[in-house]
Amino acid sequence: MQLKLEHFSIKIGQHKVLLNIVDAKELGVNPGDRVRIRGRESLSAIADTTDDMVPPGTLGVFSEVYEHFVTWDKPVEVVPAFRSKSASVIKKMMDKRPVAQDEIKTLVNDIVEENLSEIELSAFITSSYIHGMTDDEVEWLTRAMIESGDTIEFDTHPIMDKHSIGGVPGNKISLLVVPIIAANGLLIPKTSSRAITGAGGTADLMEVLCPVEFSSQEVKEITEKVGGALVWGGATNIAPADDKLIRVEYPLSIDPYYQMLASIMAKKGAIGADNVVMDIPVGPSTKVPTIQEGQKLARDLINLGHRLGMNVECAITYGSSPIGRKVGPSLEVREALKVLESMEGPNSLIEKSAALAGILLEMGGAAPRDRGKEVALETLRSGKALEKMKQIIEAQGGDPKITSADIQVGQYTADILASADGYVIEFDNKWIIEIARLAGAPNDKGAGVAIHKKMGESVKKGDPILTIYAEKEFKLDTALTTAQRTNPIVVEGMLLKRIPGIYGFQ
């Protein structure tokens, strides 16, 4: 059937077209079926039907399809197409039947090329979430994700990297770890994510200081020039299948365990990492609630790294309260820069950064065994890490002269006050993140929260325990209302409750 094209200038994240129900009936095509479109080139797309958005004789195409035919000014030929091979692979996984390496590679390629419907993607994600995957299948998935996008091949080695499982607010340690490692002569091309459910991913933070969107080749050049980079992975086309899976996982609020392993390690493999340290925060309100679960995750990451030829070490870290006392892009950057400038800052931030950087320094041969943390701390104290950070900022197009005092935060503020004398006995990370997000983080760089009192610290009634920052007054009001309702920091006196005796005093 010959149909003229009508372009809907909308990106929907998949190859999809609209057929008038008259044409669909003529072709024998139902919603969700695939059609083959032939013009200057040929591709498959998922069909939907309408009785009014396009007239008979017209094929409505979204931007992902239209870009293949933008120079084609004639009608296209549209014919029914066979179901994608990936559909049968997904069905096998749903039936808990083993799949082969080439089948997983076909599946990943279809994900990257946007040949799968969201229903098919959801089925894949759900089946792996419920049934899990074998070690071989996880390795094949990881390799397919690496091969599906750009890779970086450095001329010198070793290449270092770090990753945090996340779930802890204020986890700004990459801003310290990367310059420490680079200042000691090792290469560390750190690709990072933007926040999805958090108050600021590393890329959101670094964007306060300089651009973070670079091609894979530019990341290589920056790293080889100054030793390190802090960039947004989404701009590099590294392991692109991951971003497409996240798009479907987010509304389902699930993060399939084995896909998480593949996602993490694919990004490390794509940059050619030789040595990787994994930060696994554990605690009741983190992604990994117990040390036992953290140890299992560590074993699985180390095993997958071994299969891929990477040396992986894991650090199980305390995750029950934020790292440092600031949450939100500009607030966190100001806190991290202050440590680089003068070693002034929260012990939790300095200790964790030095510990993880120390492991990497030992893995890369830049520090003797058991002396990595000491070398990392000395790199901070000497100012070498600050100088390296300035070089990285300049190489990424930012102002190397910027200081912590130059970082602007939200002009609208409100304090949460302690309701009694006592001690901080409970800290809810999830509500701290939610309050920062309601205040505008991470999109509003100056939004977030400052934490004045942490676990075990004493407070007096009326003392500020939390300050909310916002760039817009209405967002401050929303965040403040939520903070007052949820009470994310609980203060109690030493006497928690008095229970009288049966008779009381006479």
**Mean pLDDT for the stretch of residues 375-397:** 98
Q: Is the pLDDT of residue 246 over 90?
A: no
Q: pLDDT-derived band of residue 498, with 50, 70 and 90 as boundaries?
A: low
Q: Is the pLDDT of residue 253 over 80?
A: no
* pLDDT 10s digits, 308-334: 999 999 999 998 888 999 999 999 999
296 and 212 in a common domain: yes
pLDDT of residue 496: 56
> Annotated binding residue at 263?
yes
pLDDT of residue 377: 97
> Annotated binding residue at 198?
yes
The answer as to whether 497 is a domain residue is no
Q: Is the pLDDT of residue 492 over 70?
A: yes
Backbone φ, ψ for residue 168 (5° rounding): -115, 125
* pLDDT 10s digits, 34-62: 899 998 888 889 999 999 999 999 999 99
SS3 state of residue 156: coil
Q: pLDDT-derived band of residue 237, with 50, 70 and 90 as boundaries?
A: confident
291 and 323 in a common domain: yes
179 and 225 in a common domain: yes
Q: Bigger pLDDT: 273 or 488?
A: 273
* pLDDT 10s digits, 116-156: 888 888 899 999 999 999 999 999 999 999 999 999 999 99
Q: Is the pLDDT of residue 494 over 90?
A: no
327 and 211 in a common domain: yes
Angle at 13 between CA 11 and CA 18, to 5 degrees: 70
Q: How far apart are CA 310 and CA 116, in angstroms?
A: 31
pLDDT of residue 497: 60
The answer as to whether 423 is a domain residue is yes
Q: Which residue among 394, 423, 445 closes a domain?
A: 394
- Tell me the percentage of the chain whose pLDDT exceeds 90: 70
The answer as to whether 143 is a domain residue is no
What number of other Cβ atoms are within 10 A of residue 307's Cβ? Answer: 16
Q: Is the pLDDT of residue 499 over 80?
A: no
* Residue 352: CATH number of its domain: 3.40.1030.10
| Strand order across the 275-282 sheet | 160-164, 275-282, 311-318
The answer as to whether 227 is a domain residue is yes
94 and 55 in a common domain: no
pLDDT of residue 418: 87
**Mean pLDDT for the stretch of residues 163-181:** 92
Mean pLDDT score of the chain:
91
- Of the candidates 33, 110, 255, 300, the residue annotated as catalytic is 255
Q: pLDDT-derived band of residue 286, with 50, 70 and 90 as boundaries?
A: confident
Q: Bigger pLDDT: 187 or 243?
A: 187
pLDDT of residue 506: 52
Q: How far apart are CA 218 and CA 152, in angstroms?
A: 10
> Annotated binding residue at 195?
yes
220 and 286 in a common domain: yes
The answer as to whether 138 is a domain residue is no
pLDDT of residue 151: 92
pTM: 0.86
> Annotated binding residue at 11?
no
* Residue 31: CATH number of its domain: 2.40.40.20
317 and 181 in a common domain: yes
What is the residue range of 112's domain? 83-131
Q: How far apart are the first and last CA of the chain?
A: 98
- Which whole-number Å values give the CA distances from 449 to 438, 468, 482, in the listed order? 11, 4, 13
Q: pLDDT-derived band of residue 231, with 50, 70 and 90 as boundaries?
A: very high
- Tell me the percentage of the chain whose pLDDT exceeds 70: 97
Q: Is the pLDDT of residue 83 over 80?
A: no
> Annotated binding residue at 320?
no
Q: Is the pLDDT of residue 474 over 80?
A: yes
Q: Is the pLDDT of residue 214 over 90?
A: yes
* pLDDT 10s digits, 407-463: 999 999 999 998 888 888 877 888 999 999 999 999 999 999 999 988 888 889 899
The answer as to whether 239 is a domain residue is no
pLDDT of residue 119: 84
pLDDT of residue 26: 93
Q: How far apart are CA 303 and CA 143, in angstroms?
A: 14
| Residue listed under structure tokens 């239209």 | 66
**Mean pLDDT for the stretch of residues 341-345:** 94
Q: pLDDT-derived band of residue 503, with 50, 70 and 90 as boundaries?
A: low
> Annotated binding residue at 202?
yes
Q: Is the pLDDT of residue 469 over 60?
A: yes
Q: Bigger pLDDT: 286 or 90?
A: 90
Q: pLDDT-derived band of residue 395, with 50, 70 and 90 as boundaries?
A: very high
> Annotated binding residue at 342?
no
Classify residue 364 as exposed, middle or buried by CB count within 10 Å of its CB (0-12, 13-18, 19+).
buried
374 and 337 in a common domain: yes
What number of other Cβ atoms are within 10 A of residue 383's Cβ? Answer: 14
Of 5-14, 189-198, 342-351, minimum mean pLDDT range: 189-198
pLDDT of residue 13: 78
Angle at 169 between CA 163 and CA 174, to 5 degrees: 35
**Mean pLDDT for the stretch of residues 104-116:** 89
69 and 111 in a common domain: no
255 catalytic? Reply is: yes
Q: Is the pLDDT of residue 290 over 80?
A: yes
The answer as to whether 149 is a domain residue is no
1 and 62 in a common domain: yes
> Annotated binding residue at 117?
no
Q: Which residue among 36, 54, 78 closes a domain?
A: 78
Count the domains in the chain: 4
184 and 325 in a common domain: yes
Residue 266 contacts residue 297 (beta carbons within 8 Å): no
Q: How far apart are CA 146 and CA 133, in angstroms?
A: 18
- Which whole-number Å values give the CA distances from 415 to 224, 446, 453, 468, 488, in the listed order? 45, 16, 12, 6, 13
57 and 13 in a common domain: yes
The answer as to whether 242 is a domain residue is no
Q: Which residue among 33, 62, 78 closes a domain?
A: 78
Q: Is the pLDDT of residue 71 over 70?
A: yes
Classify residue 299 as exposed, middle or buried by CB count within 10 Å of its CB (0-12, 13-18, 19+).
exposed
* Residue 462: CATH number of its domain: 3.90.1170.30
Q: Is the pLDDT of residue 504 over 80?
A: no
